[in-house]
Amino acid sequence: MKKIERDKAIILRRNGKSFRQIAKEIGVAKSSLSLWLRDVILDPKLKKKLSEQPFTRDAIEKRRKSRLSNEKQKRISVIKQAEKEIETLTPATLRIAGICLYWAEGGKTRSGGARFSNSDPYMIRLMMRFFRTICRVKEDRFRCHIHTYSHLNVSKSEEYWSRITRIPLTQFFKTYSKPSKASLGKRDTLPYGTIDVSIHDTKLFLQLMGWIRKIGSVPSLGEN
């Protein structure tokens, strides 16, 4: 029985059939075919034809998933290695990080107080540490204002940002829900909206402006 299958496999191979096609037609494993057909020499034209043969949809999808999985693992590995490089934030590094983030994302036009808006919870957490630890802002001075879309759940947004900032809801202004037909039916990139943390303190605002100006003018090591 095995000899019959092997002889048939050899004939099919010489006729230009792929291992996958032969395995499917005679019902044998590809490992057996590798052994049976290892000495079969193909005509160069047939060999070229086999190499150019398109993959099945399943094979293409399998390769795509495998490639994406490998890329994902590489990305995760790089991220984890980078995380190990920063073990803790000292007061000095927290000060610089907070000033630079405020420089990039903070309010700089109203001198009556400091204001920081963003939708990234990690950034908001870091800025709250900066305000509390470096700027020594008292808890009752914080105010929050959420901007979201009307099709999203306002209560969930308020609870979420209250948890992230550790600011009680009693210090939140009424949430602003913006109508948006364009966002309906699409993936919500801002499921909790954007939060605006404000501190009514002119002195703090001026300090922030001074720190920003100083960082922008201080030369780096090695510069003349």
Per-residue burial over 93-105, b = 16 or more CB atoms within 10 Å of its CB, e = otherwise = ebbbbbbebbbee
Answer whether residue 16 shows pLDDT above 70. Answer: no
User: Given a cut of 90, is residue 144 above it in pLDDT?
Assistant: yes
Task: Give the whole-angstrom CA distance, residue 13 versus residue 221.
Answer: 69
Phi and psi dihedrals of 79, rounded to 5?
A: -65, -45
Our CA dihedral for 70, 75, 81, 83, rounded to 10 degrees, sits at -140
Q: Output 155 or 42, whichever has higher pLDDT.
A: 155
**How confident is the model over 56-112, as pLDDT tens digits?**
566 677 778 888 888 999 999 999 999 888 888 899 999 999 999 999 999 998 778
Q: 178-220: per-residue pLDDT in tens?
A: 887 655 555 577 889 999 999 999 999 999 999 999 998 888 7
Q: Which of 26-30, 40-44, 72-76 has the highest mean pLDDT?
A: 72-76
Task: Report the Cα 209 to chain-centroid distance in Å.
Answer: 32
Cα 18 to Cα 24: distance, rounded to the nearest angstrom: 10
Q: Which of 53, 11, 6 is nearest to 33 (CA)?
A: 6
Task: Kindly report the pTM of this predicted structure.
Answer: 0.67
Q: Do the beta carbons of residue 181 and residue 152 sit within 8 Å?
A: no
- Rounded to an integer, what distance in angstroms lies between the CA atom of residue 68 and that of residue 61? 10
Which residues of 51-181 form beta strands (DSSP E)?
114-118, 142-149, 176-178
**Better-predicted residue by pLDDT, 221 or 215:** 215
* Tokens 């801002």 -> residue: 190
